[in-house]
Structure 1
Amino acid sequence: MENKIRVIMADDHACVRDGIRFLLNQITHVSIVGEASDTQGLADLLDSCACDVVVSDIGMPGIDGESNAIQFLRRLLYHAPQLPIVVLTMIHQASILVGLLQHGVAAVVDKRDITSSLVHAIDAALTGQGYLSDHARTAIAQAGAPQPRVGVISAGEWKVFTMYVSGMTIGQIAVRLNRSAKTISTQKRNAMRKLGLETEADVIDYACQIGLT
């Protein structure tokens, strides 16, 4: 079939990649054009291989010592906003799922829903529609979480947020970034709001689930 959807997939678990490959190889309008087991491999593929959609885990090793793929995907979304990203995850906390969408990803698929939802997510992402798999949608609905895309977290807000969850105080971050404590505090609050996090416990949970701590 001509004009197949070219997919690059990335996951650090071989069994997950095997399952995705088996599933997508049965779909006539989809073609896997590259596979990666970490963020560096994904970056290399994107430099050398044209694709229409990226399907990626977020809990795999990042570049430059990062503990997850979030920062890389954020940079990718900034530099290539036209490239849809479908995130695969086992995360089930509503605020975190909303935060992923606010990062700009096109779709979130709970790994428990891969068989029934991944192809739908790829198709929806390619046409510019947002998509949540059943488990992800249910988690958000049950929690009454705010609707996605109320605001996209900025690079500065994300930097402050990651420094904060690493254990630095507002005052220490202010000194490090040569900003006022008031500015840093505002950026931290904005990051929490955009990620759908309401309490310090939510911040800790989010940071743990995506590998920031």
Structure 2
Amino acid sequence: MGIRVVIADDQAMVRVGLRMVVDNEPDMTVVGEASDGLEAVSIVRRTRPDIVLMDITMPRLDGISAAAQILDEPGAPRVIILTTFDTDENLYAALRAGISGFLLKVSPPEQLIESIRVVNSGEALLDPAVTGRVIASFAGRAEVAPPPELDDLTPRELEVLTLLARGLTNAEIAQELFVGDATVKTHVARVLMKLHLRDRAQAVVFAYEAGVVRPGA
């Protein structure tokens, strides 16, 4: 059946452009479009897509609130937030809502397609430039005691969590630790399982809020 995609953006021309790029791929299909957050929630419930491309700023219900509603339901799709890099707080709130990644609206078509495939495969998409801005927004937040779940991690798993929080890919982590990609995948899976996290995006939030990594470190 391929990858089923819903596009949510209040600008018609943006939706047209995204649809043309997605529908041009033989393994992808746009199954719905929405011009605001409420419509996005309704269309997702009706069409049951695999991926939602969600703009942040939309009328009636913003993209982050819409994503939170969508992700709160059983069998929820994965959500990629489309951003113009406006406010760090928006991006932080999107991570907290459980989205699977960010994508800049100025990204080239091939990056959009690759991003959809990456997220659909179960990975999280954290554009290094966007992640850096999100991480910077954590600076100055109140210090909290390290959560007890951290004690369940081995030293190597804690190291992997730190590298995840810096936005490194599996290949980059493997190079940093001088291990194979398969070994990194195993470590990442164990980290997510032990910390009860769904994906790498949530791991970034956890690592910074828990004080495992700090901005500028």
Task: Give the TM-score normalised by structure 1.
Answer: 0.59
Shift of 1:136: 2.0
Is the Cα contact below 8 Å between 2:89 and 2:137 reproduced in 1? Answer: no
Encode CA deviations 1:58-86: one digit per residue, 9 max, x unaligned. 200134xxxx2322211221224641111
- Is the counterpart of residue 149 in structure 1 residue 211 in structure 2? no
**CA 71–97 in structure 1, closer or farther in 2 if over 3 Å, else same:** closer
Q: Report the counterpart of residue 32 of structure 2 in structure 1.
A: 34
Encode CA deviations 1:81-126: one digit per residue, 9 max, x unaligned. 6411111111255564344223210111011115242112211111
**CA 98–43 in structure 1, closer or farther in 2 if over 3 Å, else same:** closer
Q: Which amino acid aligns with 2:7?
A: M
- Is the counterpart of residue 72 in structure 1 residue 66 in structure 2? yes
Encode CA deviations 1:131-176: one digit per residue, 9 max, x unaligned. 12364245457x49683525879xxxxxxxxxxxxxxxxxxxxxxx
Give the whole-Å Cα distance in 1 for the aligned partners of 2:14 and 2:55: 10
Identity over aligned pairs, percent: 25
Give the whole-Å Cα distance in 2 for the aligned partners of 1:44 and 1:31: 18
Q: Report the counterpart of residue 109 of structure 1 in structure 2.
A: 103
Give the whole-Å Cα distance in 1 for the aligned partners of 2:47 and 2:137: 40
CA RMSD of aligned residues (A): 3.2
- 2:117 is matched with which residue: 123, 146, 150? 123
Give the whole-Å Cα distance in 2 for the aligned partners of 1:138 and 1:113: 17
Q: Report the counterpart of residue 8 of structure 2 in structure 1.
A: 10
Aligned residues: 150
Q: Report the counterpart of residue 94 of structure 2 in structure 1.
A: 100
Give 3-state SS (helix, strand or coil) of 1:113's partner: coil
Is the Cα contact below 8 Å between 1:92 and 1:136 reproduced in 2? Answer: no
Structure 2: segments with no counterpart, 5+ residues: 140-164, 166-200, 211-217
